Amino acid sequence: MDLVTQLLSDLVRIPSVNPMGRAGATRADGFFETDVTNYLETYLTAQGVTCHRVPVSPGRDNLFAYYEAPNPGKRLLFDAHQDTVPVEGMIVPPFGAHIEGGRLYGRGACDIKGGLAAMVLAFLRLVRERPKHSASVVLALTVDEEYTHMGSSAIAKLPPEGIDLAIVAEPTRFDLITTHKGAVRWKIESRGTACHSSTPDRGDNAIYRMSRVLHVLQRHAQELQGSTPDPILGAPSLSVGTIHGGVSPNVVPDECVIELDRRVIPGENPDHVPTLVTEALRLHLSAEDFDQLAFHVPWVRMPALRSSVSSSTLEILSQCVARQTGRNPLVSGVPFGTDAGPLGQIGIPCVVLGPGDIAQAHTKDEWIDLDQLRYAVDVYFDLACCLGAS
């Protein structure tokens, strides 16, 4: 087995499931990145590389390593996240790393332990060979990409100095992604007065109130669809994803809660988006209904990415990809968010680039094509060599 397949197998076998906000999640049950961080630190240290762990939240550390090129030149950030989405509903063993038909199966194989393994090995090859005109590389292995991007947000607050370009590993089939949507997620709660359901007029039904809220939100979502679209990503969107309310059919409910997902496009400020929704509700609901709503603070506020990568840099990256994979990559945008959102927001030019297809990410039989995986090591190494002198 080649090195990158071996490393990916090891990483898939170590659970690093993002708890995605669920209460009571523990490391013993496979949640959090700690075990993968420990493994990667040991792996890199054994190759003579000094690692730095930076705590982001309890038990969740970003891991950094540094390659200083022999000649001063460009400085790259290699970003890959250590966490995966949960494993419920999977029809392959999530931590089995089973190989069949040129594919490796398991949670994270595609998103993005494959890209992470390739970045680590490209980084180690740079350290070993020290190519004359290579770029310097800061390797940043982040936590919590799949939920709130705590890891890359922490990097954006205290970024390494002098980064000319961030390469963010995500499954893009080596297409060069320079723009993507961002997301804001928050809860709205409606309140009422509980009473026995045999005399509902004595109470105030919070679910009925929420139904009026939903009516306004649906109209707001339709208006967003008709708003000025981004030329690549299209219009912003709003979706209500969950609703919870009531305790029993014979009790008039005094509480109902929904969770909203608002996708933002470049130019929209994610901090302002909840206010627009609140204002739409204030305008279209009765004062009595509006006064019985509570608006929670968003737990996801990820900006959209519109990266300012020069055409000459994109040309070099395209050539590296074509040379290593035999396919000319597209330069385009995607609807999903990545670690590049917070990095792009502080002005670091970002390209999202990695092996595997997003169609296989987060799926019940997640897998990565092993040819893509092997190409990835060469693509990341080659681009560090070519960009250094550019």
Q: Which residues contact Zn ion by CB under 5 A? A: 111-112, 170
Question: Could you tell me the smallest distance in angstroms from the CB atom of residue 119 to Zn ion?
Answer: 13
At residue 79, φ and ψ (nearest 5 deg) are: -115, 125
* DSSP bridge pairs for 138: 66, 77
Nearest residue to the partner Zn ion, using Cβ? 111
Q: Contact, 87 vs 176, CB < 8 A?
A: no
Question: Could you tell me the smallest distance in angstroms from the CB atom of residue 355 to Zn ion?
Answer: 12
Sign of CA dihedral 365, 368, 369, 370: negative
Angle among Cα 381, 384, 385 to the nearest 5 degrees reads 85
Q: Which is nearer to Zn ion, 274 or 356 (CB)?
A: 356
Question: Could you tell me the smallest distance in angstroms from the CB atom of residue 140 to Zn ion?
Answer: 14
Structure token pair of residue 267: 């130019």
Q: Which is nearer to Zn ion, 236 or 354 (CB)?
A: 354
Q: Which is nearer to Zn ion, 358 or 383 (CB)?
A: 358
Question: Could you tell me the smallest distance in angstroms from the CB atom of residue 259 to Zn ion?
Answer: 21
Task: Count the alpha carbons within 13 Å of 85 in the hemisphere toward its beta carbon.
Answer: 14
At residue 61, φ and ψ (nearest 5 deg) are: -115, 135
Q: CA-to-CA distance for 333 and 68, rounded, in angstroms?
A: 31
Question: Could you tell me the smallest distance in angstroms from the CB atom of residue 358 to Zn ion?
Answer: 9
Q: Contact, 93 vs 365, CB < 8 A?
A: no
Nearest to 184 by CA among 58, 306, 101, 278: 278
Angle among Cα 62, 59, 39 to the nearest 5 degrees reads 60
Question: Could you tell me the smallest distance in angstroms from the CB atom of residue 112 to Zn ion?
Answer: 4
Q: Angle of helix 311-325 relative to helix 370-388, nearest 10 degrees? A: 140
Q: Which is nearer to Zn ion, 112 or 176 (CB)?
A: 112
Q: Which is nearer to Zn ion, 188 or 343 (CB)?
A: 343
Question: Could you tell me the smallest distance in angstroms from the CB atom of residue 54 to Zn ion?
Answer: 20
Q: Which is nearer to Zn ion, 146 or 204 (CB)?
A: 146
Q: Contact, 302 vs 337, CB < 8 A?
A: yes
Q: Which is nearer to Zn ion, 192 or 355 (CB)?
A: 355
